A and B are shown apart, each in its own frame.
Chain A
């Protein structure tokens, strides 16, 4: 018995359809390899002469040779990426999970609907707008009189705003997927809404919540604009909350415009390092199992 298309074609048109379907899917699937191929190909110069190791052993980042030789150390920028990501997660995780639990289990129905639409609006605001808000409102407020205000704290806060909807929506989706019977059984035992959330729903939805957190981490590592606009962009190890730093993504965005030859090639290596970080996270996400429903709920407005 035939239950799906393109498996046992009947007419010539069907065969043509099968070819079109397969070749489109192959083309779509090959894009990731094309991206990898081109990034590695453009990075080949820098991978050959200073070598991949130099990017982790050189003390600082001076890719343009001004007579004293070039240096390609990306570790301070990698540390900055990790620091802003960690800072953002520190702020967004409790707020996001709290808001998700509230929405799925505690809030009265009309309020939950309103709250969800607000979170979806938050998810729909582009990163460059968050960056603008951070630059004009947040940075002067953090800086006061003595500092510029651009730095780790500002970057973490702006980034956390972007992660908040992702975490909230994926937490909520995971909680709503918990079987109703379990919650009803808990209610029959006399547990209130908070106890039901704490003892039944959250433990049952743990995998989905963690998967949402991993997704948010990937976003934070890959985000460019929002961080670029408020981080101060000085290549430095993260020290104080108000000291400026530059992330891997920001480094590419800042220098790509004027980079040539070995410098350009070095920036593609930075892109490779970024992809490695994200690949690690994808593998991690795979370990936490089903990636079925969170990508749509996290994209903001797919609707239910």
Chain B
């Protein structure tokens, strides 16, 4: 009995420790990061290598990189997920699934190498928002497909039988019967992909590049917010405060996105239950 309570106390201590750690990191981020944040900081481009100015141009670049990544990955991911969900046990689906598992395990820096070789050099896009976005689209594809497949498979078999009994065509079955109940689960996948793209740094350094100007078009190089944090912390002495402010903005954006995931997931489950 004494051993029992000792172990219990240990588990409480561990989880309290984990909570305290999180509170420490977040408190540190807020206390050091809020100083420079103002409307001007959020709107202006960085000056003096990031020691002055803001992060406006980086937010624009980040937005476009993520938009390209999800815009390309979404259709491919959606149709692949439909195939995997509907044709679950075929040899092709199993092969596709193991390929995606392997892709999911590839380190992000290797995606950076790959994106640099394929998009920047072989396809001649150079360091650009387009190269960075396309690289990230390859990276987020596995998680996108996995979540979308699961949400489609969660739709009850009976609905498929009913659609089949009514003689509905595949196209109608997919878009009118399967998609509506699966849509919020699909949204979870999409938002997870966006979150992963936003947090990525290593794959972007040699694909999207370092340029801090406001981008004119997708072939301009554009620095993402995460790359900016890295650069300020490592290469610019005396810019810690601004690195922290940029990190705070990124974490807040990600927090909002993750809250959306949780809401969408709850909505999805409520929908399936009815």
Q: Specify which chain B residues have a CB less than 8 angstroms from the CB of A35 in the assembled complex.
A: 103, 106, 110-111, 114, 138
Residues of B with C-beta under 8 A to A54: none
Which residues of B lie under 8 Å from residue A7 when comparing CB positions? Answer: 86-87
Q: Is B4 an interface residue (CB 8 A)?
A: yes
Query: Smallest Cβ distance from A127 to chain B, in angstroms?
Result: 7
In the assembled complex, the Cα of A254 lies from the Cα of B226 at a distance in Å of: 16
Tell whether B233 is near chain A: CB-to-CB under 8 Å: yes
A125 and B188 CA atoms in complex are apart in Å by 18
Check A31 against B116 for contact (C-beta < 8 Å): no
Q: Are A106 and B251 in contact (CB under 8 A)?
A: no
B1-52 interface (Cβ within 8 A of A): 4, 7-8, 10-12, 14-15, 17-19, 21-22, 25-26, 28-29, 32
Instruction: Specify which chain B residues have a CB less than 8 angstroms from the CB of A229 in the assembled complex.
Output: 230, 233-234
Contact A164-B18, Cβ < 8 Å, known A35-B106, A39-B113, A303-B262: yes
User: Using Cβ atoms and an 8 Å threshold, which residues of chain B touch A281?
Assistant: 105
Residue of A nearest to B17 (CB): A95
Once the chains are docked, how many angstroms separate the CA of A21 from the CA of B192?
A: 22
Partner of B250, one of A24, A29, A129: A129
B265 at the interface (CB under 8 A from A): yes
CB-CB under 8 A from B100, the residues of chain A are 28-29, 32
Chain A residues near B169 (CB-CB < 8 A): 10-11, 13-14
Interchain CA distance A164-B170 in the complex, whole Å = 44
Instruction: Render A271-290 as a binary contact track against B, CB cut-off 8 A, 1 for contact.
Output: 10011001101100000000
Q: Is the CB of A6 within 8 A of B86?
A: yes
Cβ of A200 to closest chain B Cβ, rounded Å = 14
**Contact stretch, chosen from B63-71, B194-202, B212-220:** B194-202
Question: Which of the 9-residue segments A45-53, A131-139, A141-149, A236-244 touches chain B?
Answer: A131-139
Query: Does A84 sit within 8 A of B, measured CB to CB?
Result: no
Contact yes or no, B96 A25, CB < 8 A: yes
> In the bound complex, do residue B18 and residue A28 qualify as a contact, i.e. CB atoms below 8 Å apart?
no
Bound-state Cα–Cα, A60 to B101, Å: 34
Which of chain A's residues 108-157 have a Cβ closer than 8 Å to chain B?
A: 115, 118-122, 124-133, 135-137
B255 to chain A minimum Cβ distance, whole angstroms, is 7
Write the nearest CB–CB distance from A31 to chain B, whole angstroms: 5
Query: In whole angstroms, how far apart are the Cα atoms of A101 and B15 in the complex?
Result: 10
Q: Are B8 and A300 neighbours in the complex by a CB distance under 8 Å?
A: no
A249 close to chain B: CB less than 8 A: yes
Query: Which listed residue, A25, A124, A133, A274, touches B195 by the CB 8 Å rule?
Result: A124
Min CB distance B22 to A, Å, is 5
Q: Is the CB of B107 within 8 A of A125?
A: no
Chain B contact-residue range equals 35 or more
Are B143 and A25 within 8 A (Cβ)? no
Cβ-closest chain A residue relative to B21: A161
Q: How far is the CA of A95 from the CA of B254 in the complex (A)?
A: 25
Is A98 in the interface zone, CB < 8 Å from B? Answer: yes
In the complex the two chains form, is A249's CB within 8 Å of B107's CB? yes
Contact, CB under 8 Å: A271 / B233: no
**B265 contact from A252, A282, A304, Cβ within 8 A:** A304
Q: List 13 A-B contacts (CB under 8 A).
A: A2-B164, A5-B86, A18-B170, A32-B99, A39-B110, A98-B11, A121-B255, A132-B247, A194-B4, A224-B201, A257-B206, A301-B261, A302-B261
| Beyond A129-B251, A279-B102, A295-B104, 12 extra complex contacts between A and B, CB < 8 Å | A24-B83, A28-B80, A28-B141, A34-B114, A106-B8, A106-B12, A118-B22, A126-B254, A194-B4, A195-B4, A274-B110, A278-B106
Q: Which residue numbers of B lie inside 8 Å of A, CB to CB?
A: 4, 7-8, 10-12, 14-15, 17-19, 21-22, 25-26, 28-29, 32, 75-80, 82-84, 86-88, 92-93, 95-96, 99-114, 116-118, 122, 138, 141, 143, 145-147, 150, 157, 160-161, 164, 169-171, 173-174, 188, 192, 195-196, 198-202, 205-206, 226, 229-230, 233-234, 240, 243-244, 247, 250-251, 254-255, 258, 261-262, 264-266
Question: Hey, which bits of chain A sit against chain B, CB under 8 A?
Answer: 1-7, 9-11, 13-14, 17-18, 20-22, 24-35, 38-39, 41-42, 94-95, 98-99, 101-103, 106-107, 115, 118-122, 124-133, 135-137, 161, 164, 168, 192-195, 198, 218, 221-225, 228-229, 249, 252-253, 256-257, 267-268, 271, 274-275, 278-279, 281-282, 291, 295-296, 299-304
Give the top 4 A-B pairs by smallest Cβ distance, nearest first.
A222-B107, A303-B265, A126-B199, A24-B79
